Amino acid sequence: MNTTVMSRLLRRMLPVALLVLSGTWQVAAHAETNCAGGTCVFGGNGNNAMSNEEARQSKEQWNATRTLRDQKINRQEKDNAKYDRSVDLRDRCNASQNVNAYWEPTTQRCLDRRTGTQLMAP
């Protein structure tokens, strides 16, 4: 009885084992990479001038877009800081003890009603 169980198990597991073995061999064959000069080029021997040029252009484009993203983030931070300062100044102007102080929304300045001069500097 023990040999029949082993032979059944062997008959069922052998095709699965062969399939798994062939699959792992194929993955290893497709995973060949060649990284030269900080730029990875997949497949081939890595000496192809066209693929090296494409990799260089891709890296250059990535650096340019990163620079643009950094500039956009810096601009947004400056705009947010400017908005925060104007909100703080408006709140200080509205809470001022001076009854002639009022907030001018178009110029975003705190002005005196009588003279029109700026009361609080940003």
Contact 108, 89 (CB under 8 A): yes
Given a cut of 80, whether residue 30 has pLDDT beyond it is no
Contact 110, 103 (CB under 8 A): yes
Give the mean pLDDT of the chain. 79
Predicted pLDDT of residue 53? 86
pTM: 0.41
Contact 120, 102 (CB under 8 A): no
Report, as an integer, the average pLDDT of 5-21: 75
Report, as an integer, the average pLDDT of 10-23: 75
Predicted pLDDT of residue 4? 76
Q: What percent of the chain has pLDDT over 70?
A: 75
Tokens of 111: 């002005």
Predicted pLDDT of residue 2? 66
Query: What are the domain boundaries of the chain?
Result: 50-122
- Span 34-69, pLDDT tens digits: 555 556 655 555 567 778 888 889 999 999 999 999
